[in-house]
Amino acid sequence: MFAGHAFAAPELLAQALTHRSVGSPNNERLEFLGDALVNQFIAEALYRHWPKADEGALTRARAELVRESALAGIARSLELGPRLLLGPGEMKTGGHRRDSILADALEALVAAIYLDAGFEACRAVVLPWFAPLIAALPPPNKVGKDAKTRLQEWLQARQHPLPAYALLHEGGEDHARVFRVSCTLAVPALRTEGEGSSRRAAEQQAAEAALSQIEDA
């Protein structure tokens, strides 16, 4: 049993966990099939989860759920990394921790389950992996929009002045820069701060902090 499925054909699991750096057979063809399956499973799940959402909201939500970092996060929760078979170069550079390799392996695993047990069994195994992410989605009209955009729309809808962002601090080594930014609102009177590896990331964090206060007020 691995990742909620007992393989009748363990060679499928072995192939799903074999990176192309090892040679052939590897998981590239399985990844192609798994990508299509994941997109279908998520599209159906969102269609049922949001019965009144329009196509745009459903499309943005699906993109959020199947993006590389989301898939890699699920792969980590399944402890896929330590089981990957990688070539010496990828092993040396920590390939088992890289988002792209983990996301590809997860899609390959989905395809392997499908080929081993069929569509219905595969869906029953895979959808629970995404259930917490689906449950955590913002409302349909907000999904896919970053914090700065959502804050601006909230203020504009109430005819309030737009926020002002200011750089408070920039430091750290060249390979690990740290930026601290403030976000100031005139109405309602509010000032928040955010920190990130880029000025944009810090602004997004500051905007998210502002949103959490004004939306909960």
pLDDT for 141: 73
- Tokens linked to 47: 């269609």
- For residue 106, give every residue at least 6 positions away whose Cβ sits within 8 Å of its Cβ, in sequence order, or none: 34, 71, 72, 74, 75, 78, 80
- Tokens linked to 192: 């928040």
pTM greater than 0.75 (yes/no): no
d(CA 64, CA 60): 6
pLDDT for 93: 87
| Residues 20 and 27 sit within 8 Å (Cβ to Cβ) | yes
- Residue ranges of domains in the chain, CATH in brackets: 10-135 (1.10.1520.10), 147-216 (3.30.160.20)
d(CA 44, CA 82): 31
Per-residue pLDDT of the chain (217 residues; tens, 9 = 90+): 888 899 999 999 999 999 999 999 999 999 999 999 999 999 999 999 999 999 988 998 998 899 888 999 999 999 999 999 999 988 888 888 989 999 999 999 999 999 999 999 999 999 999 999 999 888 887 776 788 988 998 899 899 999 999 999 998 877 778 999 999 999 999 999 999 888 988 999 999 899 989 876 5
d(CA 65, CA 41): 11
pLDDT for 217: 58
- Give a three-class secondary structure readout of 28-75: HHHHHHHHHHHHHHHHHHHHHHCCCCCHHHHHHHHHHHHCHHHHHHHH
Which residues are bridge partners to 196 per DSSP?
179
Q: Which residues belong to the annotated binding site?
A: 31, 104, 107
Residues identified as active-site: 35, 107
Q: Which residues belong to the annotated binding site for Mg(2+)?
A: 31, 104, 107
